């Protein structure tokens, strides 16, 4: 039996209504709605998105900095925090760069050095001046567009179906969220902007218990906070990262500091 697009949408809406009505709560570790997920480190990239584009080897050291203009580009909602930590995870999982910290981790390093200078930390501490790695490149993220749009005629479509007619009130909660972002790559030696990439994502939010479907770039969006707006924005950053990697592959490798030894 062939199922057309409208029939598939009706089935998806009806099944989602049933799920929303169940009211069962369950917590599953590692099962959150996140497009940017997993880990990166000496053991390699673990649990990364299947859509993540990677490099065979790092070309340089990299820092990621906050956009000085922030990330609020819509009158309908404000984003509470920064996407930079998850973009740093993307950069490390891709293997294109070795990532250096220029945020809270750096502040902690400076604090340890100050404690040593004050005689609080042992003299033979492994923390000492002159061992830090320079950031040879910098990535600056920018949120250029984000918006939520009303569901439009979905309520009218549902009203034509006897089974779904009583649930048309839920259609008012349906919204289409979309975002566009940019990643800018700067050479810290020359200050030249060497590469730039845009990313975009769109998702349909049913508005019922946080259920959503259809994020561009694969999967069900990405989670940097508990809002669907933030999820689609991080999915857009994943899209921008994937478009930036082919540009990075054409960069000449720079001389990098020795890698931290790991267990074999």
- Angle, nearest 10°, between helix axes 228-248 and 84-94? 40
> How many angstroms separate the CA atoms of 179 and 145, rounded?
5
- The model carries a pTM of 0.69
pLDDT given for residue 227 in this prediction: 64
> For the segment 161-189, what is each residue's pLDDT rounded down to a tens digit?
454 444 444 444 556 678 888 999 999 99
Report which of 234, 217, 250, 197 is spatially closest to residue 55, judged by C-alpha positions: 250
Rounded to an integer, the average pLDDT of 37-62 is 87
For residue 4, what pLDDT is reported?
Answer: 61
The C-alpha atoms of residue 45 and residue 56 are separated, in whole angstroms, by: 12
**Alpha-carbon distance values, 126 to 111, 116, 129, 258 (Å):** 14, 10, 10, 16
Q: What is the pLDDT of residue 243?
A: 96
- Residue-averaged pLDDT of the chain: 74
Mean pLDDT of 150-160: 47
Q: What is the DSSP letter of 50?
A: T
Order of strands across the sheet with 193-205? Answer: 97-99, 60-64, 137-150, 175-187, 193-205, 212-213
Q: Do residues 206 and 16 lie in contact, with contact meaning Cβ atoms separated by under 8 Å?
A: yes
Give me 138's structure tokens.
């910098």
Structure token digits, residue 217: 């770039």
Residues 1-34: b if buried by 16+ CB within 10 A, e if exposed: eeeeeeeeebeebeebbeebeeeeeeeeeeeebb
């Amino acid at each position: 039996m062939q199922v057309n697009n409208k029939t598939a949408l009706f089935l998806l809406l009806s099944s989602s209504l049933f799920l929303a009505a169940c009211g069962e709560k369950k917590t599953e570790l590692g099962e959150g709605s996140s497009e940017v997920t997993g880990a990166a480190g000496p053991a390699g990239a673990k649990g990364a998105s299947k859509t993540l584009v990677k490099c065979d080897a790092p070309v340089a050291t990299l820092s990621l900095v906050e956009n000085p203009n922030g990330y609020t580009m819509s009158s309908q909602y404000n984003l509470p925090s920064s996407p930079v930590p998850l973009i740093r995870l993307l950069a490390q999982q891709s293997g294109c760069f070795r990532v250096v910290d220029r945020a809270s981790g750096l502040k902690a390093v400076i604090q340890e050095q100050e404690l040593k200078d004050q005689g609080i930390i042992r003299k033979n501490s492994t923390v000492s001046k002159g061992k830090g790695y320079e950031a040879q490149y910098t990535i600056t993220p920018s949120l250029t567009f984000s918006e939520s749009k009303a569901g439009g005629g979905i309520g009218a479509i549902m009203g034509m179906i006897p089974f779904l007619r009583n649930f048309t009130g839920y259609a008012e909660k349906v919204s289409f969220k979309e975002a566009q972002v940019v990643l800018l790559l700067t050479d810290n030696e020359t200050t030249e902007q060497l590469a730039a990439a845009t990313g975009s994502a769109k998702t349909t939010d049913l508005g019922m218990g946080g259920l959503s479907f259809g994020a561009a770039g694969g999967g069900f969006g990405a989670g940097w906070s508990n809002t669907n707006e933030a999820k689609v924005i991080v999915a857009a950053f994943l899209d921008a990262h994937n478009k930036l990697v082919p540009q990075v592959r054409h960069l000449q490798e720079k001389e990098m500091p020795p890698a931290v030894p790991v267990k074999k």
